[in-house]
Amino acid sequence: MSVNKYKPHILVLPEDDANRQIANGFILDLNLNSRVIQVLPEAHGWEDVVDKFTNDYASTMRQYPHRMIALLIDFDEDKDRLSYVKEQIPDDLENRVFVLGVLSEPERLRRNINKDFEKIGEALAKDCSDNTNELWGHHLLRHNRTELDRMISSVRPFLFK
Amino acid sequence: MLQRLYIHNFRCLENFELPIKGMSSALLIGKNGAGKSTIASALEVLQSIGRGINRVGQLVQSKDFARGRSDVPIRFEIEVLIEKKLYKYALALELPENFKELRVFEEQLIVAGDIIYSRKEAQVTVYNNSQNREAQFLVDWHLIALPVIQKQSNTDPLHIFKTWLAQMIILAPIPSLMTGDSNGETLEPKREGSNIGEWFSGLLGRYPAAYTQVDQYLREVMPDIKDFLNELIGKDFKSMIVRFEENNANLSVNFKDLSDGEKCFFLCAVVLAANESYGPLFCFWDEPDNYLSLSEVGHFITSLRRSFKNSGQILVTSHHEEGIRKFSNENTFVLDRKSHLEPALIRLLSEMSVQGDLVDALIRGDI
């Protein structure tokens, strides 16, 4: 069955192909319930992620109160991007939307740790299911801590076994 | 686990090598006619040998020579890691002038560096390394030796390798042929899935715990399923029935009356349970996204990938954008063929330069 929209589930909207592959690796983790997570087609740019979210997904989130969404964007070393993106999220949906991404871009993280995107996703999922902070603690990812903690506390009951 | 597959002079595959070593799951993409399904056909030749078909003419015909080039042998080489031992099997088939049927030119099985047997035309030499003995005999040159050499025991490398080949799962399901009826048991599914009833019976007959795995998967995809039965409806004849339940109401449906997609859910459930029960298995599934709803494709592919992640190996083909998106650049192979007169070429997507989105590039025909 596809994701049950009447039960808690999370959609993942990746900015680009690299983030999509990271998400692919994430859902391969065997401790994760892959039936409650759906990776959406990539949006082709962080601004498009915001546009798609506000134009297409925000209204369906109001329709389905158990729906959550993770926006995977590149921060491109822009310190203001997170606050800008979060400002675009309507107040009533704020607690169900999470904004995550590499401080610069996934390609740099890949070079830095010498792992392909899918393996990066697997390692990030393992950190989440094992409650560790190995890869999430990397200097290109650790800025996600607040958003990640918020997301984990929301999704842990249904996403991880 | 399949380490290497080399095929030469077979249909569109010339000097072709599938570099799948170390990958638990991989995707083949490419235009129609690029050679994806031909890889399945080559694997099916080896699977058939494992299943006991030894007449060369039943495996390969003269039309299978690449561009009719019958002066060069058709060659199959496969390397498989089974319980940490590397099995290398090579088979070359030729069609001498004035022959109507292909014959064996060379054949060899090597296990962990030791030659088990080798063959040149009709002459077969069997080696016994532990006692340094060997035996020589002649085999009809139209017969493959692997299925006819007598196994010594179930731990005989010949038996282990033949079983691995025989248990390879090669699927291109045709749901209309999947009736769920059976008059026997098997662990050897057919490519079109038509013997799913026999396979299901064989799986549950030998591994009763597999029912739980099949049931678990089906409940995820069809939450209203109650159970499924394989009822005896005649002497040695069974028929699968699926029962659904919701709000205290029940409905029994004959397997053959399920939708095409639902039959594929069952097939997927049996694949997953088979890999768990008597794997690790190698599975080739040609377009597993066929017959599935758009919301289901991703979950279906992901279920297969997850099931084979730590045990076994799965290779799939796809033209479906959602199916393609469920793989990544390091496990996606692109097959390309410039024309029907040229051979198939294979490259890993991560080694190619793709402008923009992959699916868009495929739609544009740039890949």
Summarised one tens digit per residue, pLDDT across range A5-38 is 999 999 999 999 999 999 999 999 999 999 999 9
B300 contact A CB<8A: no
Determine whether the interchain pair A1/B321 forms a contact, defined as Cβ–Cβ distance below 8 Å.
no
How far apart are the two ends of chain B, measured CA to CA in Å?
A: 29
- Strands of the B332-336 sheet, one edge to the other: B169-171, B282-285, B313-317, B25-30, B332-336, B345-348
Residue A139 in any domain: the answer is yes
A86/chain B closest Cα distance in angstroms: 26
Mean pLDDT over A59-76 rounds to 97
Count the helix, strand and coil residues of chain B and give each as a percent rounded to the nearest 5. 30, 30, 35
Which residues of chain A are at the B interface, by a Cβ-Cβ cutoff of 8 Å? Answer: 1-4, 17, 20-21, 24-25, 27-28, 30, 34-35, 38-39, 41-42, 44, 116-118
Mean pLDDT over B228-251 rounds to 92
Determine whether the interchain pair B299/A34 forms a contact, defined as Cβ–Cβ distance below 8 Å.
yes
CA–CA distance, A137 with A145 (Å, rounded to integer): 8
**Stretch among B223-227, B268-272, B288-292, B360-364 having the lowest mean pLDDT:** B360-364
**pLDDT value, residue B129:** 65
CATH of the domain at A35: 3.40.50
Residue A93 in any domain: the answer is yes
Residue A100 in any domain: the answer is yes
Residue A127 belongs to domain spanning: 9-159
Residue B316 has pLDDT above 60, yes or no: yes
Residue B131 has pLDDT above 80, yes or no: no
Mean pLDDT over A55-80 rounds to 96
Residue A16 in any domain: the answer is yes
Kindly report the pTM of this predicted structure: 0.95
CA–CA distance, B312 with B279 (Å, rounded to integer): 7
Residue A24 in any domain: the answer is yes
Mean pLDDT over B269-294 rounds to 97
Residue A4 in any domain: the answer is no
* B142-183 tens-digit pLDDT: 999 999 998 888 889 999 999 999 999 999 999 999 999 999
Mean pLDDT over B131-142 rounds to 84
Residue B130 has pLDDT above 70, yes or no: no
Residue A153 in any domain: the answer is yes
Residue B78 has pLDDT above 70, yes or no: yes
Residue A116 in any domain: the answer is yes
Of B303, B328, B354, which to mutate for an interface test with A (greatest number of A Cβ within 10 Å)? B328
Mean pLDDT over B119-135 rounds to 82
CA–CA distance, B290 with A155 (Å, rounded to integer): 32
Determine whether the interchain pair B303/A34 forms a contact, defined as Cβ–Cβ distance below 8 Å.
yes
**pLDDT value, residue A22:** 98
Selected residue with higher pLDDT from B100 and B282? B282
The count of domains in chain A is 1
Helix axes A117-130, A106-113, angle to 10 degrees: 80
